Each structure stands twice: as C-alpha cells, then as structure tokens.
Structure 1
C-alpha cells in the first residue's frame, strides 16, 4: 500500500488546496466563455453555479465524514457500488476530468503570460509554456506534502488578495455600477438554454472542492475538517468570482469580453490600472495557475494510486522505481501535457464539464440508492443535486451540439472507452489475472 502521512494536511492547507484548484481555472480560463453563453447576465451564472455546487458538495461532505480516505471519490464510489465497473469507470471519469482541468489551467498560464509580450493567444508558445508549467508542477509534487500545503496556502492567499484588489480597482473606476455589460449588434442574445449551459462551466470552476476529498486520510481531524474545508473553499471562491465578474462586466462591453475570452481579465484591468494593467493581471494569473496545477496534480495522483491499490485500474511500472503514487504522478502529468498541446481552451473546458457532470450524477445516485442511511444524508438534497446536474448537462450538451458537435462526440467516446475498458480489465482480473501487472 502507499504511505499516506496521516495528519500531514492542516485545515488551512486543505482550504488552500481547494481554493488553489478552483480560483485558477474558474475565473481566468472560463469567465469569457461563460459570458459568451450567458450574455450580459454572466456574473449571475457564477452564483447559480455556486448554488448547484453547494447541493453537490452535500453528498461529498456526508461521504467524507463517514469514509475519509486518500482515494476520496474512488473510495466513495466503492462504498456505493462495490469494486466493479461502475466504480472504476466513474472514478476514471473524475480522474480524466481533473487531468483535463490541469491542461486547461496550463494553457491559461501560457495565454496570460504571452499578454506581457503582446503576443497572439494562438501562438505555438501557449502549449510550450503549458508543458513547462506541468513539468514544474511535477517537480514540486515529488517534494512532499508539507511543502505543497505551505506553497499552495501562501499562493492561494496572494492570488485572492490580488483578485480582490483588481476587482475593487475596476469597480472604483466604474463608480461601483451594477449595470450589466452592454451588448452590441455582433453579440447573440442569450437564451434560457444557453444560460443554463453556462452554469455547466461555472460548476467546472467550483469542482476543485473535490481535491479536498482526495486528500481525506491526510487531513487533521478528517471527520470534522473535510466538510469545513469544502464549505470554506466554495464560499471563498464564490465571493472572489462574483467580485471579479462584476468588475469585468462594469469595465468592458460584452463583445470585448467575448472577443478576449481567453484573457478577459487582462483586458478589463486596463481602465483601472492603465499601463500596469496587463502586468498586474498576468502576475495574478501566473500565481493562480501555478498553484492550481500543483494542487490538482497532488490530488489526482493520489486518487489514481488508491484505485491502483484497489486493483480497479490497470497499472504498469515501465521500469520506474519508487511507489505507485510516483508512477501515477508521471501518468497524470504526461496525459495533461498531451491534452494541453492538442486542444484549445474552450474545447478542453467543454469536455471537462461533460465528464465531470456525468461522474457527479453517478456519485449522487450511489448515495441516494445505496448509502443515504449509512451516511445520514437527506435524500431530498441528494436527489435535488442529481436533477440539477442532469438539467445543466442536458442544456450544455444541446448548446454544444448546435455549435461544436465534435466536442459532444469526443466526450461520449471518452465515456464509452472508459466504461468498456474498465469492464474488460475487471473481467480479466476476476478471471484470475493479477490487475497490478497489466
């Protein structure tokens, strides 16, 4: 088994991990995309996404209180469905969506960094910088828990302060106006369906709370502190998102927010901070994305190691020395690098949102059907989370089918491959083959 250090993560460290993952992807990579779907009301979509996430988090808090573990969601699924295809496939969906999130954040790092040099966001340097950041995250992650939690906690605090300063400066210039961003003839009016679809992306910006559940066995007093850390990280992130979205909405017309969707914060900073706008915003973006990558890699490598220990996923050493968790760390980084090179920001985000919502619904159904009495969960809250996820997922897939059908096809193929692959692997394992050697 892997050597997880009990009590090596404090409550503050756990909150730092959660906000570290959330705030990096959410506000920098997704704000412009949310605006493109929701129109001038895009700041409100972050509130709706926070509410939906709050319902979702209930299942995870209840499960974490009962079963704190380094496998987090993998362990929760095993308790609900047993160690079979559904558990293995849903856990892999979670792992893949987290790796997709890492490639999203890494490309965001590249996109914002190039703004300093007035270079196009389509430059080949974006994936180059993304790969460099992922390599740095790997080096940090092999340095141990105490350094990771100290680094992510300090950096999370710095970026939150920076974003609040950015938002307050932008709102001050705009006279603290609550007038939503104005559209123009070139922007399409948002529909109810597209606004619900926008919520899918805002949910993706909150999904970092699951990072905390994946470090459950390492958190001090986990039965009490996992739930506290999840609630605190979602609340902090929602406050920052709303403040920043309001500032962007007050300073840029909607068509400019959408046009600069990959670096909209840098554009929105110009009225408040003048020539220093880009440098200031890019500085925060770099801090945010670096901490987000490190925290996410930390969590997903542990979950994959736990799934390997449970013999739910195939594993091969490829001649690498050391513990399984170090091997899964390498797999995580390599896959994130490949995705960061192949896909652009909006497509990465879309696939990640679809896979995450499918996995989330499987978790809620498992809690409702098999564990609600065991973990003392309110069935009405759990089913509300399940239904809300379903509505958001359906709206998001419908909008993507109309605008970029390939993303829906790729996502469905991903899901089918994972389920079939896990079924075949587990069938062979159960026929007497040793799962660890494959």
Structure 2
C-alpha cells in the first residue's frame, strides 16, 4: 500500500468500505447463532443491536469530527489516554477483534461455498477456502486505495441488491407475512440473559462502521463525511439485516435455523426456491465475504501501521522489503489464517464480541472522562453507550461461562496477554 492520500476516499467509497465489512459474515454466519440464543423473536435482536450501535457510534462520530485520522480508533485512544499502556492495549484489542472478524468471514466463505457441492461444513476444505480468500484479499490490498474503494463499492452494491432480492423473494413466497419462527423439537429455551447475550453478536455484525474511522484522514471533507458515512452505513445495514432475518424466520423453524446456523440463509432459500435459491444465496455470500475481508484487512492494517509509527506496538521487519503498511498487512493476513484454521465459527464470533465490547467501553469512558468538552459530546449519551455495552458484555459472558467456558478463558488470556505485553514493551521503550 502506498502513502496516506488526503481526499482519496469519497463519501460513497467510505460507505462502500463500511457496508463491505458489516454486510458479510455478520448476517451470513451470525444469524443462526443469534437465533440459538434469542429464540423465536431473534430478528428483533438486530433492532436492539442497531440501537446499541447507534449510541456507540455517537462517540466515534464526535471523535472523527475533531480528529479525522488514518489511525482512527488508535488516534482517538491517544487523545483520550495519552501514549501509554491503556491506549496501546485498547487499540490492540480492536485490531485483534478485527482480525478475528476476518477469520470469521473467511470461514463463512468456505462454509457457504461448499453448500453448492453438498459438502459437510466440517470438511477440511472450509479453512482451505478461507485461507485462499485471505490470500486474495492480500493481493487486492496491495493494489492501492482507488482500486480498493471502487472494488468494495461495486461489490457492496451488488450484495445489497442481491440480499434485497433474496428477502423480497422469500417474503413473496410466504405471502409477505412476517411471523416468528416456529419452535420445533429440541430447541433451547431462551432467557432474558440469553436474549441480551444475543445482542452482543448483533453488535459484532454492526461493528464494521469503525472501519470508516480508520480512513478518516483520507476521506473527502472528513469532518462532515465521516459522520455521514457511519450513520448511512448503520441504517443501510439495519434494513438489510431485518429483511433477511424475517425471511429466514418465516421460511424455517427455529430448530432448522439452529441446526444450519452457519449457513442458515442458504437453508432458508431451499424451501422457497429449491437448488437455484441455494446457489443464488451462496453467490451473494461469496460476494459479501470477499468485499468484507478486503475492507476489513484494509482498515486493520492501516491502524496497525499508524500504531507502529507512533511506537505503541512492537514491529519486526523479518527481512521484508517495503513500507510498514505492507508489513502490517502481512501480519494481519497470517494471524487471520491461523485463527481460521484453528477455531470454528461460533467460537471465533464469541471471542471477537468480547474483545470488541471491552475496547468499545474503553473508548466511551475515555470520551466521557477526558474529551467530552473538547469534542462537544453529550455526556448522557456517552454514558448510556458505556452502560449498554457493559450490560450486554456481562450477559454474554455469563451465558458463555455456562455453555462454553473455554471461550471466556481464551478471551481473558488475549486481554491479559495484550495488557502485560504492552506494559513491558512501553516500559522498555521508555528505558531506552
């Protein structure tokens, strides 16, 4: 990748990057997991997730208006906490959660692609295809900003049109009647805690709006267009998610949705349109995951490069030529490949949700405690965002402790390792 170029991303390009990340694994892989936690009324969880995301986005819009930067969240944290362990650790939590999301997208690509060939999702081909997609994303990302924004904008438009066509067709089959999914046999009972926990996964499916902040200094008229791009992206994504969720709910029983949770959209197309519907849905999933991975890799490698320039994270060249941005791109892809091979979709999503919510709360607290006057932020809205994140994170952690404690343990290890690692790295830097 080349130098940061001001005015190299248009408003449409920024929206394309945001929707490119958001409308990918979020709806294709997470919808079934949300249904498993929330029960028959799971589509409503996307509305709740959109509301929580809206409160969250307020802090990012205010910060972007004051500090448009290619480092996005990394720069926001520096302004809030200075160049210390808190800033470096929170930024790394964000970066790692984005890389986890890339591995989620990669495995989703493999899972949906294999539906064409009726290959079981447990096949070794799922991570193989995921690794192949990550390699493709690397090639695209070294092609420069203009190509990336054109590619992601066009593909984002295609997948949004495709998902709307899928949704309208699915609703037409059921006479445009919106109904909750029937329970079916053996479905788990949802509780208040599990429904709140489901919101954590819907938040994860919306978090791609932060991609826009990482390109702040490159967007045309950033102080006006970053906020616009974030709001428009969230609204577009919410409408698409709701349409698709109701189609799945109206065409499949809850037990079928949970059974096919990693490819529920393809399964929902089967009773409505047969094999042709499955192939069409898989084609949309392929397009969506390709654009999602490209946009996400673009954003996280930018942020890591800026953190490296600010000497907040360690960096080794390992003999690689070229600029730091290209090196961080390589690190991003390699880590995403490792995670795509080692973890399944459910666990990848859970760890990503926990790390993201912890980081998000740190951003809101930094704005409230140190920057609310500087960025002219309403303290009530910022505190509301902080508390909503805390409630959702607590419920999600509680549910996972009961059902899959290893996820919580892995997430805690990530957090502890990052904080301790950053502490000693910055301490050694200071002594030098």
Please say if 1:39 is aligned against 2:54. Answer: no
Gap regions ≥5 residues in structure 1 = 433-438
Matches within 5 A, 1:77-96: 77-96=77-96
Q: Which moved more, 1:380-389 or 1:184-193?
A: 184-193
Tell me the TM-score normalized by structure 2: 0.99
Give the Cα–Cα distance (whole angstroms) in 1 for the partners of residues 129 and 179 of structure 2. Answer: 37
> Distance between the aligned counterparts of 1:184 and 1:174, measured in 2?
18
In 2, distance between residues paired with 1:131 and 1:397? 29
Contact persistence 2:13–2:149 (CA under 8 A): yes
TM-aligned CA deviation for residue 10 of structure 1: 0.3
Offset at 1:184?
2.1
- What does residue 409 of structure 2 align with? 409
Encode CA deviations 1:21-53: one digit per residue, 9 max, x unaligned: 000021001000000000001000000000000
**Contact persistence 2:179–2:246 (CA under 8 A):** no
1:67 equivalent in structure 2: 67
Q: CA–CA distance in 1 between the matches of 2:22 and 2:179? A: 27
Q: Tell me the distance in 1 between the aligned counterparts of 2:20 and 2:239.
A: 14
TM-score normalised by the chain length of structure 1:
0.98
Matched with 1:188 is 188
Cα drift, residue 277 of structure 1: 1.4
Q: Give the structure 2 partner of residue 200 of structure 1.
A: 200
SS in 2 for 1:45: helix
Tell me the residue number matched to 1:253.
Answer: 253
1:333-367 Cα distance to aligned partner (Å, 9 max, x none): 00000000000000000000000000000000000
Q: Deviations over 1:181-233 (max 9, x none)?
A: 01023002210100000000000000000000000111000000000000000
The residue number in structure 1 matching 2:418 is 418
Stretches (4+) displaced over 4 A: none
Separation in structure 1 between the aligned mates of residue 391 and residue 431 of structure 2, nearest angstrom: 40
Q: Does 1:430 align with 2:430?
A: yes
Counterpart position of 1:362 = 362
2:119 aligned residue: 119
The 1-side partners of 2:408 and 2:400 are apart by 7
Q: Quick one: distance in 1 between partners of 2:271 and 2:230?
A: 35
Displacement of 1:275 after TM fit?
Answer: 2.3
2:194 paired with 1:215: no
State the shift of 1:242 in Å.
0.1
Distance between the aligned counterparts of 1:191 and 1:178, measured in 2?
Answer: 23
Deviations 1:379-436 (A, max 9, x none): 000000000000000000000000000000000010000000000000000001xxxx
Offset from partner CA, 1:274-330 (integer Å, 9 cap, x none):
220111000000000000000000000000000001100000101111110000000
Would you say the 8 A contact 2:65–2:222 is kept in 1?
Answer: yes
Offset at residue 176 of structure 1 (A)? 1.2
Deviations 1:99-133 (A, max 9, x none): 00000000000000000000000000000000000
Structure 2 counterparts to residues 301-380 of structure 1, below 5 A: 301-380=301-380
Shift of 1:149: 0.2
Q: How many angstroms does 1:55 deviate by?
A: 0.1
What secondary structure, in the 3-state scheme, does the structure 2 residue paired with 1:226 have? helix
2:169: which partner in 1? 169
Q: Deviations over 1:229-262 (max 9, x none)?
A: 0000000000000000000000000000000000
